[in-house]
Amino acid sequence: MSSFTVSIPAGPIWNQEDAQKKCPMVCAAHLGKWNGQWRTVIEGEMSTCDCTFDFPYTGSESYTMDVLAGPIWNQEDAKEKCPVVCASYGGEWNGQWTTVIENKMSVCGCVFKIK
């Protein structure tokens, strides 16, 4: 099993007890698991939770996963948004995207290289 970790914004987290309530939900919403780490990035306004994403190593040198991207209106919009969204997770856009909630939410296909 291989994994990678991403810090996900979670709104304000006040202390470890608050993190233990919020971070598991934040990570689960992104299909990951909280690894117990969090940090405040803007005092009183924004903290992040470290979310770990596990995937089975199948001998392949890459792993593809859809990542939430907000609304994407068309292919041209996807060409602007998806490379940035995938890079924010440490991946590269594979050219694929899908609207999952009309006018509200789309996903980008991101490829993650296994090192």
Instruction: Report yes or no: 53 and 32 within 8 Å, Cβ to Cβ.
Output: yes
Range(s) of the domain holding residue 76: 62-113
CB 53 within 8 A of CB 65: yes
Give per-residue pLDDT as tens, 34-72. Answer: 999 999 999 999 999 999 987 666 666 888 889 889 999
Note the pLDDT tens digit of each residue in 1-21: 678 888 889 999 999 999 999
Residue 85, CA atoms < 13 Å, CB-side half-sphere: 24
Shared domain for 74 and 89, answered yes or no, is yes
Q: What are phi and psi of 59, to 5 degrees?
A: 95, -15
Pair 51, 66 in one domain: no
- The dihedrals phi and psi of 36, each to the nearest 5 degrees, come to 95, -5
Check which CATH number belongs to the domain holding 27 and give it. 3.30.1490.230
Number of structural domains found in the chain: 2
Residues 85 and 49 in one domain: no
Does 50 share its domain with 7? yes
pTM of the predicted protein model: 0.58
